[in-house]
Amino acid sequence: MNAWEQSPVGAAVGRFERARFLPWATPLEHQPRLSQTLGIDLRVKRDDLTGLAFGGNKVRKLEFYFGKALAAGADTVLITGAVQSNYTRVVAACAARLGMDCHIQLEERVPDVDDVYRTSGNVLLDELLGATLHAYPVGEDEEGADQRLREIAAGLSARGRRPYVIPLGAGNPPLGALGYVRCAAELLEQAGAMDHVVLASGSGQTHAGLLFGLRALGWSGEVIGICVRRAASLQKPRVEGHCGRIAELLGIVNPVRSQDVVLYDDVLAPGYGVMNDAVASAIRDCAHRDGLLVEPVYTGRAMAGLFARVREGRLPPGARVVFIHTGGLPALFGYATDLRRTVVRREITAP
């Protein structure tokens, strides 16, 4: 047994069923030119390289949901998300890998989108991966979206299928967060000295899981969550709630204190999935300075939040910072129109 498996948190996580999708430990990569520009020591945990169908943070989370679905004898999985959801795309890929059917409900979370947003990027991949798509007309109704999924599942059961619903609502056991509790051990083994970790905080499961794992393993540095979905005043209780529920799931004491949950929402406006100048310039700087791709919804916004913390001195010169690259790169294609307008600044012209 290795040190992780021997630790109380590792032993507790090890008792959960887990489907194996992650083929390797993702690299931790130094960013030389961004580090120089920002005056910090910036490394990126490349969880965009988690392997399955363009990867991203969902692969680690889904090892646990699919572990549970398989143990329950499910033959079909259901998931809800934004039209350009990365989650739904990876669920479709995991289901295909396991020979299961996949139903995806796409919510209207982003206003004023164009046809490219509706048909390219993750939507195209959802369809390519063989999922059945359903539309849900609202974007800020977690309970309603979950309820509709359960109704679709009931219809499938009536036709003899064995459905498993991956729920969205914050009150559900945050099984997916266990993937990031595990990731904490992987990161600590790779990183050596690090002062700060920065990541996107959306549903909050990645944030809560990583923070929980890092604290449980004794790391006392700072985890900075950048809000990509809702204001910090709403996100903080959500992440704290997840930490409490992770402790319950694992049957261990919650090592996360309220002051450990650090969140910034200054780059969130005008809202989820809508670009702003800070996000556009973060996407451009990462691409131009280090060949690092980040996207408009999660990683570009989180990187904009990191840049803002450097500007205000919150991440001081020389700080050893790890940015968690949670993936989402297919969304670059769904946002092609916006990116041309704001980052590339080139209109498509007739030949």
Ligand X SMILES: Cc1ncc(COP(=O)(O)O)c(C=O)c1O
The letter for the amino acid at 214 is L
Q: Does 235 bind ligand X (CB under 6 A)?
A: no
Task: Mark whether 157 is an active-site residue.
Answer: no
Alpha-helix runs per DSSP H in 194-276: 205-216, 232-250
Q: How far is the CB of 95 from ligand X (least distance, A)?
A: 17
Q: Does 326 bind ligand X (CB under 6 A)?
A: yes
Residue in 7, 85, 120, 201 annotated catalytic: 85
Helix axes 86-97, 121-128, angle to 10 degrees: 20
Q: Does 80 bind ligand X (CB under 6 A)?
A: no
Q: Does 207 bind ligand X (CB under 6 A)?
A: yes
Tokens of 252: 């261990």
Rounded CA gap, 291 and 280, in Å? Answer: 15
Q: Does 335 bind ligand X (CB under 6 A)?
A: no
Q: How many CB atoms lie within 10 A of CB 291?
A: 9
Q: Does 56 bind ligand X (CB under 6 A)?
A: yes
Contact predicate 197/324, CB 8 Å: yes
Q: Please say which residue, 156 or 166, places its beta carbon nearer to ligand X.
A: 166
C-beta nearest to ligand X: residue = 328
Span from 12-20, 198-206, 278-286, 340-348 in contact with ligand X (CB under 6 A): 198-206
Residue with the two structure tokens 């040190």: 3
Pairing state between β 320-325 and 196-201: parallel
Pairing state between β 262-264 and 196-201: unpaired
Q: Does 213 bind ligand X (CB under 6 A)?
A: no
CA distances from 175 to 16, 58, 62, 88 (A): 9, 12, 9, 16
Span from 12-20, 128-136, 148-156, 194-202 in contact with ligand X (CB under 6 A): 194-202
Residue of 201, 235, 276, 342 that binds ligand X (CB under 6 A): 201
Which of 31, 62, 60 minimizes the C-alpha distance to 185? 60
Q: How far is the CB of 234 from ligand X (least distance, A)?
A: 13
Binding mask 87-126 for ligand X (x = CB under 6 A): x---------------------------------------
Residue of 50, 84, 206, 276 that binds ligand X (CB under 6 A): 206
CA distances from 255 to 21, 79, 181, 218, 276 (A): 28, 30, 12, 9, 36
Backbone angles phi, psi at 12, to 5 degrees: -65, -45
Q: How far is the CB of 193 from ligand X (least distance, A)?
A: 25
Residue of 139, 163, 179, 202 that binds ligand X (CB under 6 A): 202
Provide the annotated active-site residues: 85
Give me the residues that bind ligand X (CB under 6 A), please.
56-57, 86-87, 200-207, 298-299, 326-328
